Amino acid sequence: MAKSKPSKKTTGTPPPLEIPEPKFNWMNQSRQWGTRVSPGKSGLTLDSLNVGIYGEVPPRWTDQGRNPRGAIPVKGALPIGYSVTEKIGLWAPMAAELYEEAIQRRWAPATDVPWASIQALPDDVETAICQVCTEIAQYANVDIEVLTNWQHRMSYGYHEVKQFLATASLDAARRYEAFRKRALTNGGGLGLEPMDQVNRFLLESRGGWTETVAGIALVRGLFLSTMCEYLFRHSYNDAERAIYSYVIQDVSRLIAYGVDHLRYCMARDDEKTSTVATMIAIGLGLMARDLRDPVLREALAIVFGGGIAGARREGMSVFLDFLEDFRERHVALRRWLNLPGDAMSMPRAFRPREPRQAR
Amino acid sequence: MTTPAADENLPELDLSWMNRRGPWDTHAKPGKYGLTLADIQVGEYGETPQQSQNLTGRSRGSPPRRAAMRIGGYTVRTKSDIWVENASFLYEEALQRQWSSATDVPWETIKPLPDDVEQAQCQLATFLTEVEFVAGDVPARWISVTTPDYFEARQVLLAQVMDESRHMDVFRKRALANGGGLMKATGATAGFVGGIDLSRDFTEMSSRLHISGEGAVLTIFRMGELMAYNDAEKAIYRLCAQDEARHVAFGVMHLRYMSQKAPERREEIDTYLDEAEGGMLTDAANPAGRLTQTSESLCILLGGGRDKFDEGFRKIVAIRRRQLQEYKKRVISAGFGERFENGRSRLNELMAQTAA
């Protein structure tokens, strides 16, 4: 400790205090002083901070600690062990914007869903809805496990992505909660656990974040988002409509991050295009196998058809429309990303019906 | 249930799955706070196993399928390893109290400050930008390996990751909003033995993160009025304090549950607390500790300028004492109060060192 000087006399009775001589050796140390970011019409956003050196996002972040981007790093700190250290491996230009949007669009299943609007439903419909809720809750569980497994491996220099993923994992937590609540609130309960190969595919995609993103966004995310749109159209009360609409907007952000990242990454690494295409092909193949299991397919058909009686014709027809919409959206995104493959290269379950029935 | 009359070319429905479902006739009802997690703890759905055998990731209460693959890979499968009794309350409160650093902080109230005060504010903000997300990275890692049978506790941790993300960004925003900038990092959360990052057990991690680490920061945030120079900074400290209080509450309640349900681990927990106490004044993760770049910046802020360092130092000593007192209360509340009576705790010794 530096030389000390006696405390100045104070009123009261505390014992004399030895006050250390300050060093102030941390003062006047900044890589860019004089930064003044002002709030815009959306407030003071994360993206708006990217000015001068603070907006310089290097292609590789070698610091293995939590040195904030733009600060003077400390030397000799022991490494934490981040493994995603290259910008190409996680970056999405719109991550900061998506982060702020997620916060602005926050919701609480406890209070933002009009639970009182749920009235008793026929047993077949309630059973089907509860089965769908069980499946979607497990999707959410997988999202939680996948996102949190990657988040802590990402370098601090790319904080915008880490922060966006924090919102995405809380979104998944809300999905898990909202669908469990729906299943337990109207005289039903949880349904059968899914036998879902896509869940396994996402959990076991540990080799690379970009490949995992391809599965989360273009396979599972798009499937879930499209399914929720169809469920919204065939919902039975305002509570379900609220849940589906909130979930659609949450999942849309995750898809947007995924597409933005894939585009960024593939524009800079030709090889990634083929690995991403392979990953998606595997994911779609597994999804097609999952759809052979009657549980989700029939549960959706019952919901869409208004009961077992309408499930076989009307309900299954809507279900097939849903798969077609999923396919069309998937193909459109592939085209936008310049990924090889079209509708005819997808598994049979997703190929066009001929001709599409007008109802 | 059975399929209705067969129809020309369409395949028959199977529907056998409709008879395989969890406990039925469940009617969870919303209360005055809406339909909360506590409200859906009904019947078997509210029963949490002491030891989870769920290796497929199914939702608690959902009937298992024998052919399902063991894709969970969970390492946290013992209830006492992670559970808290008030998880539902903490989670619902976290959702209700989410805030936005972009729009809920009155940034326009920040006016130019004397250069020494602005530098001190920016140094503190740099430090907080650096350390806040240790409490995001590390809980995230544990969430990913916790069985969904204990999802209530996991939900609280997910909300914490989000809170810490906001803390990281609000202090970065403060550093860049008033003619300053980021200053010098500290390496306070580096990968050293005994650090939060390297913990190999959830309770070990929680005692370091929630009880000592965040507890110390909470004391400082609660005294934010003393070091704030405008309404924006007051709002930041107040909002962060309410988040931090939930995280600390999680740690206290978890330790309490652990001490009651797994008494064989009490001695081990005391060892973690020994370690935590050893670092309370010297650990760089405590901004009121002895690391000069954070403690001196706090002294400038608390005193009102570089020339009022002495006054600031007196206040920081008071903060250190308060940190120790609040730590003691938390540990007593968690059920480990005897360490303050049987001579194991170093707290009295630390009290005497607060002015060093």
Query: Where along chain B do its domains lie?
Result: 79-353
Is the Cβ pair B35, A45 closer than 8 Å? no
Give the other-Cβ count within 10 Å of A151's Cβ.
Answer: 28
Indicate left, alpha or beta for A292 from its phi (over 0: left) and psi (-120 to 50: alpha): alpha
> Which of A117, A298, A287 has its CA nearest to residue A191?
A298
Q: Where are the domains of chain A?
A: 94-101+121-350
**Chain-chain contact of B191 with A312 (C-beta, under 8 angstroms):** no
B197 touching chain A per CB within 8 A = yes
Tell me which chain B residues have a C-beta less than 8 angstroms from the C-beta of A316: 10
d(CA B94, CA A31): 36
Per-residue pLDDT tens over the stretch B20-60: 999 999 999 999 999 999 999 999 999 999 999 999 999 99
| Chain B partners within 8 Å of A311 (Cβ) | 13
Does the CA dihedral B168-B169-B174-B176 come out positive or negative? Answer: positive
Inter-chain CB proximity A81 and B185 less than 8 Å: no
B336 to chain A nearest CA, in Å? 31
Residue A208 zone, left/alpha/beta (φ > 0; ψ -120 to 50; rest): beta
| Closest CB to A149 among B3, B42, B144 | B144
Indicate whether this complex's ipTM tops 0.85.
yes
B104-140 pLDDT tens trace:
999 999 999 999 999 999 999 999 999 988 989 999 9
Encoding tokens for residue B99?
């805030």
Q: Residue B232 and residue B163: Cα distance in Å, rounded?
A: 18
Domain A94-101+121-350 classification at class level: mainly alpha
What average pLDDT score do residues A27-32 get?
96
Hey, which residues does A20 pair with through a beta bridge? A4
Query: What would the pLDDT profile of A212-267 be if each residue is shown by its tens digit?
Result: 999 999 999 999 999 999 999 999 999 999 999 999 999 999 999 999 999 999 99
> Is the CB of B133 less than 8 angstroms away from the CB of A162?
yes
Q: Which residues of A204-241 are buried (b: 16+ CB within 10 A; e: fewer)?
A: ebeebbbbbbbbbbbbbbbbbbbbbbbbbebbbbebbb
Q: Using a CB–CB cutoff of 8 Å, tell me whether B50 touches chain A.
A: no
Task: Write out chain B residues lying below 8 Å of A17, CB-based.
Answer: 313-314, 317, 355
Count CB pairs under 8 A between chains A and B: 379
Give this prediction's pTM.
0.95
CB contact under 8 A, A298 and B73: no
Locate tokens 């595919």: which residue?
A201
| pLDDT tens-digit series, residues B141-187 | 999 999 999 999 999 999 999 999 999 999 999 999 999 999 999 98
Please answer yes or no on whether A71 and B185 come within 8 Å at the CB atom: yes
Structure confidence at residue A12 (pLDDT): 55
Residues of B in contact with A172 (CB under 8 A): 158
Per the CB < 8 Å rule, is B62 touching A190? yes
Q: Any idea of the CA torsion for B154, B155, B157, B163, to the nearest 10 degrees?
A: 170
Report the share of chain A in percent with pLDDT over 90. Answer: 86
* Both structure tokens of A302: 């019952």
Within 8 A of B134 by CB-CB distance, chain A residues are 66
Tell me which chain A residue has its CA closest to the CA of residue B115: A28
User: Can you tell me the distance from the alpha carbon of A99 to that of A45, in angstroms, rounded to the nearest whole number?
Assistant: 9
CA-nearest residue to B146 within chain A is A145
Tell me: pLDDT of A210 over 80. Answer: yes
CB within 8 Å: B17 and A187: no
CB spacing of B17 vs A1 below 8 angstroms: no
Q: Is A155 helix (H, G, I), strand (E, B) or coil?
A: coil
Yes or no, beta carbons of B61 and A22 under 8 Å apart: no
At residue B183, φ and ψ (nearest 5 deg) are: -115, -125
Q: Domain B79-353 class?
A: mainly alpha
What does the alpha-carbon distance between residue A280 and residue A116 come to, in Å, rounded to a whole number?
Answer: 41
Contacts of B98 in chain A (CB under 8 A): 103, 106
Give the pLDDT of residue B9: 61
Residue to test with chain B: of A72, A84, A177, most B Cβ within 10 A: A177
pLDDT at A356 over 60: no
DSSP class of A78: P
Nearest-by-CA chain A residue for B46: A184
The whole-angstrom separation of Cα B70 and Cα A291 is: 20
B100/A71 touch (CB, cutoff 8 Å), yes or no: no
